[in-house]
Structure formats: structure tokens, C-alpha cells
Amino acid sequence: MSIDPVTLQVIGGALHTIAREMAYVLYRMSFSSIIRESEDLGAGLFDRSFATLCESDNTPLHIGSIPGYLRGIEASMTTPWREGDVVIHNHPYFGASHSPDIAVVVPVFYEGRHIGFAGNTAHHVDIGSATPGLIVDIQDIFGEGMLLKAVKLYEGGVRNETVWNYLANNSRVGRQLQDDLGAQIASAQLGARRFQELYATYGAETVEAASAELMAYTERMLRKRIAEIPDGDYVAESWLDDDGRNRGVRLPIKVCVRIRGDEAEVDLTGSSPQVPTAFNVPFEGSTKVACYVAFRSLLLDTFTASVPIPANEGSFRPIRVTAPKGTIFNPIFPTAASARFSQCNRMIDCIIRALSPVLPDAAIAGSSASLSFVAYSGLRKTSNDYWVFIEVNEGAYGGRPRSDGPDSIDNLMANTRNNPIEDLGMHLPMICDRYELRDDVECGAGRFRGGIGVVKHQRLLEGGWLTHEAERHTDKPWGLFGGHDGAEGRVDIFNHADPAGTTEPQHAKISGVVMKPGDTMAFYSPCGGGFGDPLERPAATVLDDVLDGFCTMGYARSAYGVVIDDAMRIDHEATLALRAEMAARAAAR
Amino acid sequence: MASIGVDVGGTFTDLVLERDDDGPGGRRVFVHKVPSTPADQSVGVVDGILAICRIAGLDPKAVRRVVHGTTVATNITIEKNGAEVGMLTTKGFRDLLHIARHKRPHNFSLHFDVPWQSDPLVKRRNRMPITERIMPPDGRVETPIDLDEVRAAVREMKARGVEAVIVCFLFSFLNDAHEKAALAIVREEMPEAFASASSEVANVIREFERFSTTAMNAYVGPRTARYLRNLEKRLRDEGMDAELRIMQSNGGIGTVATCSERPVTILMSGPAGGVIGGRWAGAMSGVGDVITIDIGGTSADIGVIADGAIRIMNPRDTVVGQHPVLAPMLDLDTIGAGGGSIAFRDEGGAFRVGPRSAGAMPGPACYGNGGSEPTVTDAHVVLGRLDPERFLGGDMAIDPALAEKAVREKVAEPFGMTLEEAALGIVTIVNANMALAIRSNSVARGFDPRRFSLMPFGGAGPLHGVALAEAVAARDVIVPPAPGITAAMGLLATKLAYEFTRSTPTLVSGPALGDFAAANATLADLTALATERLAADGVAPEAMLFERVAECRYQGQGFELRTPLPEGPITADNAAAIVASFHAVHERDYGYRFDDTQVEIVTLRVIGSAEVPPLTWPELADAASPDPTEALLYVRPTTFDDRQRLDTPRYDRDRLKAGHVVPGPAIILQHNSTTLVPPGFTARIEKAGNIRIARNQQPSAEVAS
């Protein structure tokens, strides 16, 4: 059935609104900060063959992951779908993005026919993993905690108390886990009702034709952009610090982007073999999704596009992803694969770098391209119950062809919200002592400078435990087209009573660290590389940077060739001379 | 004596004047429009006031009150030309305004803008760290404030020419002593500066949102205050001693003094008047459940009034120019769809309408100002719904050939459609966009639209009213008396209202229940503040009204919902009632409740108000019979949404009387608005001046299709 362009727009808008509404209910209602503040979630409607009809756009890595879950659920079901079922699932080798992201799925029936699914995914604070809230250095997938494989929380509308009881007793924060699942159920059931209303209004055939055309539309738009890139093989490589256990053993990341006509292949062959810790990436639920994020961001940039492109599976079709089995991007069961974000972000950074020669107006310099995920935990003094708090720390962007790299912001595939410092202090035995831009590095000079990362100090008032998943302590984000490199990340732990005397530098990935009362983790995010020759940055802009403290006077001179006098004015003559000299030196090299 | 409402829009300044006694022609209510003067809004405002006084045969000295809806504060945020603001903030946290919530405005973009970094409300150089530390959860002082540091920082800012200074310390909602001490030094060293502390502007938990609100207040503060005082002076210079009142974002009016001090409360002054006008017009028909849609040239504002009450937005959703602003605002959704929205075929082959708009210049193609792209207005012209010689009451010439050309070349030909199909497509898509926005502001919040009347206004509103009501399954349509100036009427139909808030986290259910002393003390303080403010406005104690609201959540959630409080102090006895109403609100908004999870009050809010007698619209004379032929102008072919092209009579609204019944198809014309009555619908003219349009009753039971 073909569909007229007017009805298509009307149904497209309705689908978009449903996904937004589902996500809204989920994050407004939920209890853990990783869902309610960070919006680490996704929600949408799917047809009977798991194609996405619509999906919310809260966090990029969730977008496009739910069909994988649905395929995994279908393959694992022990009883048939019934109206009133609510299914949960998190198995990384059956489509899940990683085990803490639990999907809640309800089948949707219309006039007795099973027409599809409403579902969502959300990151849960604790699923009973080896260390509270977060895991890096563990033996295998079973150290990740509960593996839920197509488990029915409700069967035909009847609540399965046995399962709820099991869940409550296998998480350090059982109450929160149950209430967050409650929020997910409310969101999925709302989606199911809206799905039925849509069919009732427009009829099954029209809705299905519209969703097929919406996907074809997104696919067409992306193919058009890919076709504009000259055919060829474009490569980039980088490395990761370590696997969180074997210190000093760097892990290579190799990316080859093959452009052929209006199709692209991302070949990750040559990247590190799988590692013995949880620092591996589930292929279906994360590796592939990350590649799609890279191409959507590069080629269908929503800021520069004149029209909104629907977020759906159409953007996946022109892209093929290759990663050999047994490698870090395609591990083999029962290898653990929970700490997977930094590898994905670095792969995206490499895809951008690989294509920079042919996309000089779209590519940007190297970004922090990692993720800092911290789990703080402890036992409450009065009740001896666990509290667990997980936090995503931000990064910074590389300089861009027309603007500076944004500072202190979630990077590439991450897009969460931070937790209010005051909310944290009121409810947990923690206090934030510092949260501002880094001032310990000078880096990222360029025609457009790289973004500056943050420094954040979190103090545990009563002690507890800490696990941190991060990257890029040994490799600077790269400058592009003459821009200078950015800066590595850094983590220190010290005690509040004597910071100078107790500071100990840490690896990026640390597991189950025992924290004494007053112990503080200081996180420094990597800073982005610069874009273009720093000597081309207008001197007045450099002066503004100095006045605002984004750049020191010394760095203004050494990297930008801008001389500023004590009255904070540009010495134009000296600047001209210095810039000429620096340009001549560069030309001679 | 008389009252005037004056609402400033982008193109026109609308006025309504109500006299206590009969004026020329025995009338008491007069309306007028003058061109806006964007460079200084007060010029147009004063010109308009003098003009409408002349029309009403009234000496301007006899005007007792002027109520003003202004976009002056909003425009500062759009034009980004606010004050140079300086900030004293807790050492170690200099960049909270720069970091914001560290979330990008776009998921899939490398070139996105970060407005709070590229156009900061306070430049980094002017954010001065101060040694001090207050600790949660009790507000004790861990590090005393270094007042020498404060003084040095203030002197430095003064030397730099900073115009406004804000004091923003962490946990000041628990203990404001440090903020007060620093503010005292600011006032001492810089008496001319616009100075404020975060605990004064928004005394609530969540540092970034509180600081952002305080910064926005200071950013728009000096210019807004100057504008308001200047306007007051101009009125005095004309010999008027009317009291000047300003429409606030929460739908209540405030004095020049309070709005100058807290201009952050008038950022939505303009659209608020529309919603209040909608409530007022609904009440004239005895209808308390109204969905308003104000359709302008580039955007449409949607509001919901339930049981005659306006709704206030969740503070987590009040954002202005991508900066969170914790000031009470009417729950309004604005979407980029209006008469000027442009239709086009995008490169992927999709049929798009908006959000790009032709604006006032060049405007729709039919204006003949050089616009070649088809707009929603052009589509209506093509469909024969806007008569060229009657456009804006005949004040403006439009050219239907230009509208046809644009629709044909840019839409019909690329899609292989007929001209009519293309024009209908444009209208269908823009209606669908608006209907979705209405749905997400009503159905999605638990309101059943079948209970509501849809009220379209703005010049273009009544053309879309019936189609939108059908799309969202609203009960019927109410077209207010003067749809083009409904917002100005709202200015004469609201009350004084001031809100005060303070975060006081308190459990109201569960085992640890019992101590409500802190919460009750907060309520007493907030009530005292509201009383003081109303008394300063000359309100007698017996005329003061107080509404008390607790913003509650299940303990552990991050978003609160407004829950009404019972009379008197909170006690162990009435806590259960608070919990029960929170469960109900949660279930209405989200469709789910957590019966055995503890409920927590986060923030308390007291709204002090005093009624002002509302505008009385003159009743219409009674018609001799339902037959409206006496108001018939002429008949012309018109195309409706169901593709029928029918000979359609035009009626003159000014000649329609109470009791007239206008069967569709029909078009009702008035000076600045056109109401479309499709076939199958009937319009009834009400005594109060509204037009009610409803679907004709089916003669027999409907057969399910």
C-alpha cells in the first residue's frame, strides 16, 4: 500500500509524540538518578517483526537497541505472547546493550491480533553485580549480576509474585529496582494504549505503510549523504589504556570505513582481542548501535539539518558493521561485557578521524571520546542497608570547523544529565567539594580551540566503596588540521583532612576501592584537541579567552603567538612579529 | 473612571478600555489597535492609550488602572542584549552556569550550539569565587564566609563596569546567612547596581536551576526596570495618575516595583494574557474547561484551563532561551506553527509545513512583499477561505494569484497534486502539528479533551477551530468576541497574584513521620511575605486570598508534582490527606501510583492574591428569529477540509445578534478575524458575545464504520 504524503506527516508526528510521552512518564516517575536525572533510557513502539515504529531520543546508545532485545526475547520465550504480559530482559548475548540496561516489553494486541510491542530500556543502579553498581574487573558474565532472559513479570495480566520477590532480594537496592521497573511498566503500558488508539484511528494497513515509508525516508536521506563521499577505504587507529586488570597493556582500536556508492562498512578487524575483564562490547546491542550513532551525527547532524529526520531503523540499513568474533567489539559467551562505553566512543572518534580528509567541513578534532562512570556505595549507619549512587561524568569536544569544541559536556554517544549537587548532599552521605573547569592543563589550541573538561571532587562522608570505569589516561585527544592535542584524563584519591599528604594517582578503571570517611575522588576529564592553525585564531578572541581564564597569558603567547600586556591589552606589534616568526618556523619544519 | 488593558505584540499593540459609565454610543467597552514600536515599546503603549481614550471620549486623567502585557523582558533574552552581570559564588564551583546539566541540546550532532556557553548570562571573567561553605542536610557552616574576599571582588566588578551583581552560594536554601552578608557588601559598595541573592529570587533546592534563575533575573533586570519606570513616567507626563500593573507569567498582575525587582516573573507576560482571556471568555459561556489556542503568524500558544483554574507549569519545565527559570509560569506550549508557516518539499521528498515562517516580512506570498514561498495563509486564500477585499477588514490588499502561484510551484507540482489538494495538504499538516501539541498538553497530562471546549483566537485561530476540535475530540468550539485581541482582554480579567516558595524537605508518610515544625514555619513565613506584598499594593486584609501548595514526590524520585494543602498547619492528622491527594495527582499525570512508597514534600509555595473585578463585555441584542439573513454579506465558493467546494455565505459578525443560528457551510467575518463553520456544524450566537460551534446532532444512531 502506498501512502499519501499528508497522511504520512500526520502519522509520523503522532508516532514521534508517543515515543516522547513514553519517555517522559518513565523519567519523571523513576527513582534512581541514573534514570530520572541522567535520562539513561529509551522507549518506543515496534511492529511484530521488531522494526522500530518510533523511538524516543533521550540517550543515543539506547536508540536502536530495543529491536535487538526483542529478537533476544523471542528466541528465549518459554511460553507464547499473551495480552497482559510484561517481560523483562537484559541478556547481553541475547540482544541486550549491557546487563544493567533492563528492557521492559509488553505485547500489543488489536482486535485480537498481536500487532507489535511497546517497550523501553533503562539503566538500573544495581542488579546484584560483583561490586556495587558497576563492574570492571570480574571473571565472566555471571559476575555482572542477575541475567534476566525473557522473564515474565506479569503473565496474562497476573503479577508473578515469585519473580518480584526474587528481584527484590537480588539487588543491593531492591526497593529502587522494583519502583524503577514500575515506572518502566507504566511507560510501556501507556505506549501500548497509544499504539491501539493509532490503529483504531488510521487502520493497521495505513499505520504500517506509514512506518515503512518513514524508515525508507530516513534511509534515503542517509544514503544521499554517503553517496556524496568519494568511494574509498578510510582508516584511523588509536589505543585504550588497559582492560582494568592488566596494567600497561594497551588495547588497539582499528577502524576502516569503506565507502562504496551509497553504502558504508565499518570494519573493526585488527582491534584488540576480547579481554578477560568486563571491558568488552556486546556486538548486537552496542557495537552496531555505536556505528549508527557515528554516521547519524556526522551525516545527518540535527543542528545543521533544515528538517528533522525521524529516528528509526532506516538509519541503520546503509551501514554494515564487521567485527571478528572473539574481539573486544564482538566477545564470545561467557565473557563479561558490561563496561563497554569508552570503546564505543573511541570507535566513533576514530570514524570521524578516518573520514576527516574527505569531510573537512563536517569532521571535528579529537574529543574526550571516553566515559567516566562511577559507582559510589556504602551502608547506611542506622539500617545497615546499602546505598548505591552511580554518576556519569562529562567530557569535552574537539574544536570544530566553524566553532570551538564545547566544554564540560557529555560526549559523542553519551548524553545524560548530571545529578544536582544539592539533591545528592541532602539524601546521601556524600558531598561535592569542587565542580568546575580544569585549570591544571594548557592544551587544545586551534583556530577553534578544543573543549575544556571538568574537575569534580566527590567526598564520602562515612566511607564506603568505589568503582570507576573510564579511559584516556595515557592518550591525548588529537588536534586536527594544525590544531594542538588536548589533554589526558586523570583521577586522584585523597583524604579531605590532608589533600596534599594523601593524594594518590589512580588508573582510569578501578574496582571495589575501599574508601575511608573523608576519602575523596577527584576526577579530571580529558580535554578536546584544537581544530586548525592556532595562529589563525583572531587575537581579540584569544584575549577574551585569557580574560575568561580559558587560556593563560603564557599559553596565549606560546601556542597562539598573541602577546598581552599587563594592562590586559593586546600588543599588536609584538603579536604580529611573534606570529610571523612562528609561521616561518612551522613552514621550515 | 476607566481601566485599560494594553498588550504589546510583534506587529500591533492591542488595547481594550472599559468605562464605569456609558461612553459614546452608550458603550462601555472599546477596543483599538496601534502599530507596535519595537525600539521602545512604551511609545506605542502611550500613543495607544491616548488614542483609545479619545475613541472612548474619556479624559486620560480618568483612567484608574492600566494593565500591561509586555514582551520587553522576553525580547532581551531573544536579542541577547541584557546587562553585564557579575556573580559571587562558592569557591570551587565557578562554572556551574557553564556546565549546566552537562547535557547536549542535540543527540545526533557534532556542530550543535551550547547557548549557555556561547552566550552566557554571566561571563566567566565576572564569576568570582568566594571562600565559604554551608553543609547539608542541616545548613551548618563548615567554612565561614571571607568578607574581605567579597569586598575585593565587588570592587573589581565595579571597576569593570558591571551593572548587576548576583550572589549564588551552594545550599543557601538551607541557610541564607552567607548570601545575605555578601549582598549587604554589594549594596554598600555598589548602591546603583541591580543586586540580588539566589535565596531571594528562587529559594529552592537544585543549584544550577536556582543560579540560572537568579542570573536571568539580573540579565533582564536593569533594562526591564528602566522600561517600566520610564513607562510610568511617560504616563505621569501625560497627566495620568493611573496605577500601572504588569501581567506576570503566572497569570496574575504585579506592581511596577515588584516586577522591576523580579523581572524574571514577567518573561511570559505576553502569552499569559491570552490564557487568562480564554478563561474569561469561557466563563461568559459558563464553561470552565477550556483549551485555548492562540494562533499567530509564526507560532501558536496552547493552554489548558480545567474547572476554571489556570495551570502552572512544573518548575522542571520552565525554560527561557534554553536557560532554566524557576519562576511560576502558566502551563503553555508554544509550537512553531502559524499563518506564516512555510510549506515545502524537502530533499528526502517529505511534505513539510514549518517551523520556518515567512514572518511579517516578507510575509505570505499573497501579501505581495516579495515572498514566493507558500504559507498556511496562502493555502486558505487558495481554498477561498480568506476573501481578498476583506483581509484585515479591508485594511490590507492581498493577491490570490500570488498565493496560487506559490502553492502550485512549491507544493502541487513537486508532489504531482492538484492546486486544491496541495492547499488542503498544507492545512491538514499544520492542523495535525497543532493537534499533537494540544494532545501532549492535555491528554498526555491526564485531561480528557472530550470534556473541554476548544477556544481558538489570534487572527488566524477561528479558521482552524473546528478542525482542531475534531482532531482532538473536544466537546465544541467557542470563538471569543474579539479573537484578535483576546490577550488584551485577559489583562482586564485577572487578579493580583504573588508567589513565594522555599524548599523544606519533609516526609509526610512512613514510619519516621511526626515533625512538621519546619514546614509549618516555612508556610507561616511565606504567608507573611505574601501578606506584606499585598498590603503594599493597598489590598485590605479581608480581601487577601492565600493558596498553599506542596510540591511532593515519592521519596527518591527527582520530579515533584503540585499537591494542594489542607487549611491550617500540617499535622499528623491531615498528613494522610496530603498523601492521598499526591497519589491522585501522580496517577492523573503518569497513570500509575506507588501506594506503599513514602511521600516527601520538597518545596512549599504560597500564592497570595486579591481579586480585581473582571471586564464586563456588553451583551448582544436579541435576534428576532434564529435566521441570520440580516447579517448576510454575500455568497462565494469555498473549499472545506472534506474537499467539498460549496457556495458559502459570509456573515458580518457585527450584525449577528444573540440567538442567531448560522448553519455550516458558512464564514463569519469581523475586522481582524475569520471564523470557518464547515458543513455539518452549526454556529450559535450567544448573548454574552461568544460564538459556540458544534457538530450537528445525527438524526439516527451512527453506524460504526
pLDDT tens, position by position, B581-626: 999 988 887 777 888 888 999 899 999 999 888 888 999 999 999 9
Cβ contact A410–B104 (<8 Å): yes
Cα–Cα distance between A255 and A328 in angstroms, integer?
13
Contacts of A37 in chain B (CB under 8 A): 101, 558
Of A127, A418, A87, nearest to A278 by C-alpha is A127
- Out of B444, B556, B592, closest to residue A186 by CB: B592
| Percentage of chain B modeled with pLDDT above 90 | 68
pLDDT digits (tens, 9 = 90+) for A144-184: 999 999 999 999 999 999 999 999 999 999 999 999 999 99
pLDDT above 80: residue B35? yes
Going by C-beta distance under 8 Å and a sequence separation of 6 or more, which residues neighbour residue B216?
B77, B121, B264, B267, B320, B323, B325
Residue B410: the pLDDT is: 95
pLDDT above 60 for B381? yes
Q: Contacts of residue A433 in chain B, CB cutoff 8 Å?
A: 92
Q: Report the pLDDT value the prediction gives residue B705, as an integer from 0 to 100.
A: 36
Nearest-CA distance from B310 to chain A in Å?
22
Point out the least confidently predicted range of A34-38, A41-45, A79-83: A34-38
Confidence bin at A204 (pLDDT 50/70/90): confident
CB contact under 8 A, A9 and B429: yes
**Average confidence (pLDDT) over A204-218:** 89
Mean pLDDT, residues B325-345:
90
Q: Which residues of A touch B436 (CB under 8 A)?
A: 13-14, 17
- Chain B residues in contact with A549 (beta carbon < 8 A): 124-125
Which residues, numbered 437 to 456 in chain A, qualify as contacts with chain B under a Cβ-Cβ cut-off of 8 Å? Answer: 437, 454
Which of A175, A309, A436 lies closest to B94 in CB terms? Answer: A436
Q: What H or E segment, with its residue span, contains residue A121?
A: strand A113-123
Q: Which of B103, B313, B593, B594 should be substituted to probe chain A, the one whose Cβ sees the most A Cβ atoms within 10 Å?
A: B103
End-to-end CA distance of chain B: 60
Q: Comparing A215 with B218, which gets the higher pLDDT? A: B218
Q: Residue A552 above 70 pLDDT? A: yes
Residue appearing with cell numbers 452608550: B26
- How many beta-carbon contacts under 8 Å exist across A and B? 230
Higher local confidence (pLDDT), A201 or B96: B96
Mean pLDDT of chain B: 91
Confidence (pLDDT) at B295: 92
User: Best mutation site among A422, A433, A439 for testing chain B: the one with the most B CBs within 10 Å?
Assistant: A422
| Closest alpha carbon within chain A to B472 | A201
CB A288 within 8 A of CB A321: yes
Residue B582's pLDDT is what?
93
Q: What is the pLDDT of residues B129-186, one digit of tens each?
A: 999 999 999 999 999 999 999 999 999 999 999 999 999 999 999 999 999 999 999 9
Percent of chain A with pLDDT over 90: 82
* B residues 319..378 contacting A (CB < 8 A): 346-353, 356
For the stretch B246-281, pLDDT in tens is 999 999 988 899 899 999 999 999 889 999 999 999
Mean pLDDT of A38-64: 85
Spell out the domain ranges in chain B.
77-226, 496-610
In 3-state terms chain A splits into helix, strand, coil percentages (rounded to 5) of: 35, 25, 45
Q: How far apart are the first and last CA of chain A?
A: 64
Instruction: Quickly state the pLDDT bin for B54 (edges 50, 70, 90).
Output: very high
Which of chain A's residues have a Cβ under 8 Å away from the Cβ of B108? 60, 293, 296-297, 300-302, 311
- Check A425 against B436: CB less than 8 A apart: no
Could you tell me the pLDDT band of residue B1, with boundaries at 50, 70 and 90? confident
The answer, yes or no, to whether residue B638 has pLDDT greater than 60, is yes
Mean pLDDT value across residues A290-297: 94
Of the candidates A99, A91, A98, the one whose C-alpha atom is nearest the C-alpha of residue A70 is: A91
Q: State the pLDDT at residue B141.
A: 98
Task: Give residue A89's identity as a one-letter amino acid code.
Answer: H
High-pLDDT (> 70) share of chain A, %: 100
Q: With beta carbons under 8 A apart, name residues in chain B contacting A426.
A: 136-137, 205, 505
Side chain identity, residue A392: V
**Which chain B residues are Cβ-neighbours of A547 within 8 angstroms?**
125
Residue B432 scores a pLDDT above 80 = yes
Q: Do B102 and A352 touch (CB under 8 A)?
A: no
**pLDDT band for position A238 (cuts 50, 70, 90):** very high
Among residues A483, A477, A577, A585, which one has the least CA distance to residue A537?
Answer: A483
Lowest mean pLDDT among A311-320, A369-378, B132-141: A311-320
| Angle made by CA atoms A412, A414, A417, in degrees to the nearest 5 | 130
Q: Report chain B residues whose CB lies below 8 A from the CB of A300.
A: 108
Q: Say what the pLDDT of residue A142 is.
A: 96
Give the pLDDT confidence score for residue B512 in this predicted structure. 64
pLDDT at B9: 80
pLDDT band, residue B701 (cuts 50/70/90): very low
Of A542, A532, A472, nearest in space to A250 by CA: A472
- A176 CA: distance to closest CA in chain B (Å): 8
B211 has a pLDDT exceeding 80: yes
What are the C-alpha distances in Å from B546 to residues B186, B300, B451, B492, B568? 34, 32, 29, 21, 11
Say which residues have a Cβ less than 8 Å from residue B580's Cβ, sequence separation at least 6: none
The reply to whether A352 touches chain B by the CB within 8 Å rule is yes
DSSP letters along A54-106, please?
EE--S-GGGTTTHHHHHHHHHHH-SS---TT-EEEE--GGGT-S-TTEEEEEE
| Model confidence at B510: pLDDT above 80 | no
Question: Which of A221, A301, A363 lies nearest to residue B109, judging by beta carbons?
Answer: A301
Whether pLDDT at B703 is above 60: no
Give the per-residue pLDDT at A298: 95
Q: Of the ranges A56-70, A511-525, B219-233, B481-495, which one carries the lowest mean pLDDT score?
A: A56-70
Mutate to test the interface with A, among B90, B102, B119, B596 (most CBs of A within 10 A): B102
Interface test with A, best of B111, B176, B326, B443 (most A CBs within 10 A): B111
- Residue B347: band (very low, low, confident or very high) from pLDDT cuts 50, 70, 90: confident
For residue B553, give how far its alpha carbon lies from the nearest alpha carbon of chain A (Å).
9
Ranking B520-529, B583-592, B689-698 by mean pLDDT, the lowest is: B583-592
Cell digits of residue B370: 516579495
Bigger pLDDT: B134 vs B533: B134
A36: nearest CA partner in chain B = B558
**Is B496-610 in CATH node 3.30.1490?**
yes
Q: Could you tell me which of A413, A381, A362 has the C-alpha nearest to residue A531?
A: A362
Q: Is the pLDDT of residue B704 over 50?
A: no
Residue B689 is predicted with a pLDDT of 94
Q: What is the mean pLDDT of residues A374-401?
A: 94
Q: What are the boundaries of each domain within chain A?
A: 5-217, 364-532, 535-588
